[in-house]
Amino acid sequence: MSPDSFLATHGFAAARRAPLPGDAGHRRYLRLTGGPRPAILMDGSAAAAVGLPSAEADLRAFMAIAAHLRGTGLSAPEVLAADPPAGLMLLEDLGEPTHASLLDAGADPLPLYTAAAETLAALHAAPPPPGLPLWEGETMARAAAATFLDWWWPAALGTDPAPAQRDAFRAAIRAMLAPFEGAGAFVHRDYFPANLLPLPDRAGPASVGIIDFQDAGLGHPAYDLVSLLQDARRDVPGTIRQAATARYLAARPGIDRAAFVAATAAMAAQRHLRVAALWVRLDRRDGKPHYLAHGPRCWRLLDEALAHPATAPLAAFLDEHVPRHLRANPRMESAA
């Protein structure tokens, strides 16, 4: 089914369509006005048309997780209609501003980040839904290798990594993450301001709308706090990071704080290395060079994470194979 047919079937043929900022993936989003109700079209039809296997799976995961979040009292968009094989879904429109757009417009960051942290604590405290894929250990090692070894390494070093280097990298990531496996929390994986919306007419944790959660997994909750407070796309002042972390921990008093800090460093190291290299893949494979602007921030955050003893296995690998002066994204260096 085409997007036009899908919209007509559900009464939105005459709705006005305005594109919304997309993500780094294959989906596009349209805000619909003038139809039966305000709505958002999530359109993955282009991916579905070429048989991209994740297109239908993404929508089915979104539907299941949206139902879970709404069932726990959190604010996720209601699914109004869906055609997963076609890659199409109509969603409740939770509103126009996101936390990111408010921050860009100069809003006070403190209430936005502390509210997001409170919502995140509620998200992690609830039992996760069944069927989530693991986001820890081997899965995280493979994800990091897919950007750092497959894309960053040849772009920056001019050669592919040797099999022994691949094995050593995987072992380093696994050793770093091993102490933090088995936490069993719902992990959004991209919990940052562009995926959060202010809902001032709702109370408590429900006052923050959550979107783009279809890639969620089962892992350590520190990963999401890293996504929020060590954002790959924007600088977060230290005072804000401290206040939001304090709000999160206050809402989850049973957490071992020292262990959580160590897990935060390990999750940050994996995420920042993977995402710094992801920008290279988006540039060279997908023709999206604007993401390279975020590379220097990711490398700075990685360096910060590597200062913690919990990241020693990865730090040792990088010290042996990637000298500090090479820890940057190559095209950003040439464009600087």
- Domain 3-92 CATH (choose: 3.30.300.30, 3.30.200.20, 3.50.50.60, 3.40.50.720): 3.30.200.20
Any idea where the domains of the chain sit in the sequence? 3-92, 99-335
Which CB contacts under 8 angstroms, 24+ apart, belong to 319-328? 321/165, 321/168, 321/169, 322/157, 326/156, 326/157, 327/299, 327/302, 327/303, 328/156, 328/295, 328/296, 328/299
Q: Which residues contact 207 (CB under 8 A, 6 or more apart)?
A: 75, 115, 119, 198, 199, 200
Reply yes or no on whether the pLDDT at 336 is more than 50: no
Domains 3-92 and 99-335 fall in the same CATH topology: no
Which pLDDT value is given to residue 333? 44
Alpha carbons 225 and 211: distance in angstroms, whole number = 16
pLDDT (tens digit per residue) in 37-74: 999 999 988 766 655 667 788 889 899 999 999 999 99
Each residue of 219-248: b (16+ CB within 10 Å) or e? Answer: bbbbbbbbbbbbbbeeebeeebbebbbebb
pLDDT at 308: 98
pTM value?
0.92
The answer, yes or no, to whether residue 283 has pLDDT greater than 80, is yes
Would you state the structure tokens that stand for residue 155, as one six-digit string? 């772009």
Across 2-30, average pLDDT: 87
Condensed to tens digits (0 to 9), the pLDDT of residues 212-250 reads 998 999 999 999 999 999 999 999 999 999 999 999 999
Taking each helix axis from N to C end, the angle separating 137-147 and 163-177, rounded to the nearest 10 degrees, works out to 140
- CB neighbourhood size of 18 (10 A): 11
Q: pLDDT tens for residues 138-195?
A: 999 999 999 999 999 999 999 999 999 999 999 999 999 999 999 999 999 999 999 9
pLDDT tens column, 244-256: 999 999 999 999 9
Q: How far apart are CA 291 and CA 164, in angstroms?
A: 30
What CATH number labels 99-335? 3.90.1200.10
